[in-house]
Amino acid sequence: MTRWYSERKSEHFYKEAKRDGYRSRSAFKLKQIQKKYRILKKGDIVIDLGAAPGGWSQVAKEIVGDEGVVLGIDLSPIKPIRGVTFLQGDMTKESSLQELIESMEEKKANAVISDMSPNISGNYDVDHARSIYLCEQAFITASTFLKLGGNFLCKVFEGKELPRFLKEVKNSFGLVKKFSPPASRKSSSEIYVIAKSFKKN
């Protein structure tokens, strides 16, 4: 029954995304996170890591409005979204970080959000370790670009390395929470780390 419900719920959010013009069902995850934690606000500068196919960038742009800026980056090419700038790059590479620095033109971001996910190997320990690695890269990006008081959000797979990562994030933010949005599959091990009020540049 649980699996049936989870599959139906997944199908529901997929259909909702199609109906509302979002490129992915994950758009609803960001909407639910935003409703609870207010990660983004009008006029913000937002960096969206692992942005393809663009669902989170769509939601972020709706929230920040015409006065705000959304800059998305991903390994894969992304079809244009009005008002959003995309870079094609690998955030685990220094060259991509440098390209992002140049694109930001010395501006600081109000929020860094990451829905990056590793290629699934089927070995949970390996997938968890890869997920933590991507979160660490996202955290480096956040530490590089965030304004004081800025916010950070990243997806991670639960596992033994998560407490260590959370401790690291807590050293740099005033509030750190774990959250599983309703749009996530019940069977999924993914959660989101919400970090607010960046304390140091």
Catalytic residues, which ones?
Answer: 155
Here the contacts of 99-105 (C-beta below 8 Å, separation 24 or greater) are 100/47, 100/71, 100/73, 100/141, 100/145, 101/144, 103/71, 104/47, 104/71, 104/145
Euclidean distance between CA atoms 195 and 172, whole angstroms: 9
Residue appearing with tokens 């750190």: 176
Tell me the three state secondary structure of residue 139: helix
Euclidean distance between CA atoms 15 and 17, whole angstroms: 5
For residue 60, give Cα distances in angstroms to 39, 63, 77, 143, 174: 10, 5, 19, 20, 22
